[in-house]
Amino acid sequence: MVEPTRDDIDTLIGPATPHFAYQLRARVRELIEDLPEDHPVRKYGEEQMELLDRLGHASSFAADSEREPPSRIGWETIPSSAPAYDPLPKAE
C-alpha cells in the first residue's frame, strides 16, 4: 500500500456525522497503524481520531458555527445541540 497522506485522512473524515464517527475513526486507525509513532501523518491521524471521538458524543461537526441557543425557535425538537468541539459528556 502507498504511504497514507493527510489528504487521505481528510477524505475519510470529511463527510463525518455523529452516527458514523466511530466507523470512520476505525478506518483512520487502520490507515495509520503501520506508520512510525513520530510520523507526522500518524500524529495528524491521531488528532483526527480524537475529533471523531468527540463527534461521536455530539450532534454535528459544527466546526464553523456556534452552539445553538435554547432560545432558538423549535429548540425542543432538536435532540442535541452539542457540536464536536463541545460534545455531550460520555456516559459512564
pLDDT in tens, 9-67: 999 998 888 888 899 999 999 999 999 999 999 999 999 999 998 888 776 665 666 66
- pLDDT score, position 62: 59
Which residue has cell 459544527? 62
> What pLDDT is stored for residue 80 in this prediction?
61
Residue 83: phi and psi, rounded to 5, are -80, 170
Residue keyed to cell 468541539:
85
- Kindly tell me if the per-residue pLDDT of 8 is higher than 60: yes
The larger pLDDT score, comparing residue 90 to residue 42, is at 42
User: Closest Cα partner for 79 from 4, 6, 19?
Assistant: 19
Grid cell for residue 51: 475529533
Question: pLDDT band for position 73 (50/70/90)?
Answer: confident
More confident residue, 2 or 33: 33
Q: What is the pLDDT of residue 15?
A: 80
